[in-house]
Structure 1
């Protein structure tokens, strides 16, 4: 009986027929949904994964711990930075960076630290060499902690950093090296 009842209901005219839904041409419904959210700057996709190619360095240039090779700069491009009020405290000094018209961001870098010098990123594949990260002011980047708040230009902004190969106290062993450094942007 239930199967017969379902078959009969399928053959009955649609309730739309009474309001001329099917007579005057093709009709349909468009359901639109979305969210309007507060925009923060976004990392440009070309900056999300970067290959930084270091120049060849001779071991003679890194004779003693602390010697440095040629620096290589890289850039992180941000888009959709809106003119907005922002305030952010420096995690190290507690100083407040505040603006009524400029957004702020702080960047933290995460990578395995060199065993002989924890300020440096561990370079895999060699010995006696680590990688120092510097911000645009030439100050050391502390691995694992948020850097100083940086003011951004509404619209598009770029953040500039430098990677420098540096000799450590471990015995120097030449070879190809690599390192992976993750970074995180924090907007407040």
Structure 2
């Protein structure tokens, strides 16, 4: 991938940053030459900058979401590995531009490449469950964790970037699932909560 074709943006909760350079200068000679009497001017500002074309931006309504899993019965999680009802979470990307992009999968995997679609990678970070580190840990109730999976229901490891995902030009929606899953610890009923941070990478 060339430097000119690569546009990478890491953002907490999917945020972009734009760079604008502003230069100011005072030049009495230049002012006098172009405008006549330099005594009529105190300063001259020469403003320059660049309008950058970014791959996508995250819809602000997707940046912070409260996900309700509802009431989970201990009867639904009798054995380690048993799962409750999954809840979908959607991330909305806006203004994705037509651009080439690519990314190699982790551990020397296959190269995902497109000449017309940017590639999105997502990393979920959270406190993991002490008994099953691949699950997101919960605070409060115990005996279960939260399983993350993508739209194809492939499991997502906490702290590792997801598989490359091509996004079509325009607006796109990425769907992920959160599923309660029993661990080896004893079930302890009660209210619970968890915090999951999400980082997006555009290539």
Fold equivalence (TM over 0.5): yes
Between the aligned partners of 2:37 and 2:54, the Cα distance in structure 1 is 47
Gaps of 5+ in 2: 1-31
**Residue aligning to 2:68:** 53
Between the aligned partners of 1:111 and 1:60, the Cα distance in structure 2 is 27
**Residue aligning to 1:9:** none
Shift of 1:40: 2.0
Render the CA deviation track for 1:11-62: whole Å, top value 9, x for unaligned.
xxxx99969x8xxxxxxx9975432113121111001111111021111111
RMSD: 2.3
**Residue aligning to 1:135:** 150
Gaps of 5+ in 1: 1-14, 22-28
Determine whether 1:44 maps to 2:59: yes
Aligned residues: 169
Render the CA deviation track for 1:108-136: whole Å, top value 9, x for unaligned.
00001101111100011011010000011
**Residue aligning to 1:11:** none
Instruction: From the CA coordinates, give the structure whose radius of gyration is larger.
Output: 1
Give the structure-1-normalised TM-score: 0.82
**Residue aligning to 1:90:** 105
Give the structure-2-normalised TM-score: 0.76
Q: Higher strand fraction: Structure 1 or Structure 2? A: 2
Shift of 1:87: 1.2
Determine whether 1:121 maps to 2:136: yes
